[in-house]
Chain A
Amino acid sequence: RKEVEQDPGPFNVPEGATVAFNCTYSNSASQSFFWYRQDCRKEPKLLMSVYSSGNEDGRFTAQLNRASQYISLLIRDSKLSDSATYLCAMSSGLTGNQFYFGTGTSLTVIP
């Protein structure tokens, strides 16, 4: 079983829509959680960390559910510039240095 499972999509949504992505993870000892954004043929860039109590950054809201072992990312009022692949990631290992990434969810925001 993969450490991280993520729906690959694609998600095609109109501008202004709200869209949500989920990732499930298998290791209950996973320590920290993240969402990364990756544009086509570019390197991943950190979008936001995911905190236990949930956190928001502008139009982006991240949530963690340890009991059900999933994290989510909600994007409100989608912009054309949000079109990208969104990767979830989590750290585990003795020092938390082992990172596991999902396969990514492709989002296209349509005018």
Chain B
Amino acid sequence: GAGVSQSPSNKVTEKGKDVELRCDPISGHTALYWYRQSLGQGLEFLIYFQGNSAPDKSGLPSDRFSAERTGGSVSTLTIQRTQQEDSAVYLCASSLALRPSTDTQYFGPGTRLTVL
């Protein structure tokens, strides 16, 4: 079946602009994660959605970052007033959420964000 998809695959923006990144999880997966991966860095946890529960936003680096998940499916990650240090690959993952700590996460191909 279809895997996790993300769009756009690449985004180049100017400093100070807002960007929206989209994630379509695997159908039936109720858990959704956003991560970012900078050059030479590991994946940095940003936010976690599980069904209708309040999201775990503890990983968001600043209030310029926000995310929504509408209808328990598609999610958008918004970065306002982008800064150069926001340049990274933003990865989305989904899982069945039967047991979050052990579920296999399936990653999308990522969005490569470059802030000029």
Contact of A8 among B31, B40, B107, B109 (CB under 8 A): B40
Shortest beta-carbon contacts, A-B, top 9? A96-B101, A43-B107, A101-B43, A101-B42, A97-B100, A91-B101, A103-B42, A31-B101, A32-B101
Contact of B99 among A6, A46, A96 (CB under 8 A): A96
Contacts of B99 in A (CB 8 A): 96
The CA of A83 and the CA of B56, in the complex, are separated in Å by 35
Determine whether B102 belongs to the interface, using a CB cutoff of 8 Å to chain A: yes
Contact of B110 among A43, A49, A96 (CB under 8 A): A43
**Is there an interface contact between B43 and A98, defined as CB atoms closer than 8 Å?**
no
The CA of A89 and the CA of B59, in the complex, are separated in Å by 15
Q: Say what secondary structure dominates the interface of chain B.
A: loop
Given A46-B105, A98-B59 in contact, is the A103-B110 Cβ separation under 8 Å? no
The CA of A92 and the CA of B43, in the complex, are separated in Å by 15
Contacts of B65 in A (CB 8 A): none
Binding site for B on A (CB under 8 A): 4, 6, 8, 31-32, 42-46, 49, 87, 89, 91, 93, 95-104
Query: In the complex, what's the smallest C-beta–C-beta distance from A35 to chain B, in angstroms?
Result: 12
**Is there an interface contact between B109 and A43, defined as CB atoms closer than 8 Å?**
yes
**Is there an interface contact between B101 and A87, defined as CB atoms closer than 8 Å?**
no
Contacts of B105 in A (CB 8 A): 46, 99
The CA of A111 and the CA of B38, in the complex, are separated in Å by 30
**Is there an interface contact between B56 and A97, defined as CB atoms closer than 8 Å?**
yes
Contacts of B109 in A (CB 8 A): 42-43
The CA of A46 and the CA of B45, in the complex, are separated in Å by 16
The CA of A100 and the CA of B50, in the complex, are separated in Å by 18
**Is there an interface contact between A45 and B101, defined as CB atoms closer than 8 Å?**
no
The CA of A100 and the CA of B48, in the complex, are separated in Å by 13
Contacts of B41 in A (CB 8 A): 103
Query: In the complex, what's the smallest C-beta–C-beta distance from B44 to chain A, in angstroms?
Result: 8
Query: In the complex, what's the smallest C-beta–C-beta distance from B25 to chain A, in angstroms?
Result: 13
**Is there an interface contact between A45 and B40, defined as CB atoms closer than 8 Å?**
no
**Is there an interface contact between A91 and B100, defined as CB atoms closer than 8 Å?**
yes
